[in-house]
């Protein structure tokens, strides 16, 4: 993981998982949830945070109508990749942003990604309207673009998308953001 970050070959490393933000998300889960913080990992986390902030900033310049989003790479949609990008930032944590001197850029990137996800959620149908209203009040269900999740080794041969996976990643991103997950180790 650290070598892929150091050599910056992670954007091309997802043979079966071509979603551009999949590697940063996976790295951040190893960092945050797997305890992979020894040896070269702290320096790699610092570099990856800077890389991810730059990816979002460059993508915003290229697609000003999608402020706060992250690119999907081979996948032309950006909602799943934005969820993965936001989770990555949250998992790497504010402590990493402090270490690299990018706290304000970090906070702004997270706020813009969360805002983009909230704004782009499309109204969806209720699966069980009565139970949902009892539990959550008068909310409107949302869904996001499916995004490319998995592909055959020859991407044109087969691609798999999942609305459930996309919504789960958005839910993880927005929940962690609402809980200020980046503030605790």
Mean pLDDT of 128-132: 79
pLDDT category, 17, cuts 50, 70, 90?
Answer: confident
Residue 19, C-beta contacts closer than 8 angstroms, at least 6 positions apart: 72, 73, 75, 80, 81, 84, 147, 148, 149
Mean pLDDT of 103-117: 98
Q: What would the DSSP string read from start to end of 122-155?
A: EE---SSHHHHHHHH-S---EE----EEEE-SST
Residue 140, C-beta contacts closer than 8 angstroms, at least 6 positions apart: 123
Mean pLDDT of 53-77: 92
Looking at residue 10, its pLDDT comes to 85
Mean pLDDT of 102-109: 98
For residue 159, what is the enclosing H or E element?
strand 159-161
Residue 69, C-beta contacts closer than 8 angstroms, at least 6 positions apart: 56, 59, 60, 63, 78, 79, 81, 82, 113, 116
* Percent of the chain with pLDDT strictly greater than 70: 92
> Looking at 20-24, 64-68, 122-126, 169-173, which range is the least confident one?
122-126
Looking at residue 156, its pLDDT comes to 64
β-pair partners for 159: 151
Enter the pTM of the model.
Answer: 0.90
Query: What's the N-to-C CA distance of the chain in angstroms?
Result: 20
Checking if the pLDDT of 47 tops 90, the result is yes
Query: How many residues can be counted in the chain?
Result: 185
Looking at residue 12, its pLDDT comes to 77
pLDDT category, 80, cuts 50, 70, 90?
Answer: very high
Q: Give the residue with greater pLDDT, 10 vs 47.
A: 47
What sections of 7-126 are H helices per DSSP? 22-32, 41-62, 79-92, 94-99, 103-120
């Amino acid at each position: 993981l650290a070598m892929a970050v150091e050599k910056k070959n992670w954007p091309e490393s997802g043979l079966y998982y071509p979603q551009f933000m999949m590697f940063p998300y996976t790295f951040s889960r190893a960092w945050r949830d797997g305890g992979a913080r020894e040896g070269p990992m702290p320096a790699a986390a610092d570099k990856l945070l800077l890389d991810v902030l730059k990816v979002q900033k460059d993508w915003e310049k290229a697609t000003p109508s999608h402020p706060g989003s992250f690119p999907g790479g081979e996948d032309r949609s950006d909602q799943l990749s934005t969820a993965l990008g936001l989770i990555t930032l949250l998992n790497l944590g504010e402590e990493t942003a402090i270490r690299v001197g990018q706290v304000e850029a970090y906070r702004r990137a997270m706020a813009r990604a969360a805002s983009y996800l909230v704004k782009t959620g499309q109204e969806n149908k209720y699966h069980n309207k009565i139970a949902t209203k009892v539990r959550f009040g008068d909310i409107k269900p949302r869904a996001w673009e499916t995004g490319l999740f998995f592909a055959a080794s020859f991407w044109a041969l087969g691609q798999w998308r999942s609305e459930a996976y996309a919504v789960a990643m958005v839910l993880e991103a927005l929940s962690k953001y609402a809980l200020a997950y980046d503030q605790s180790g």
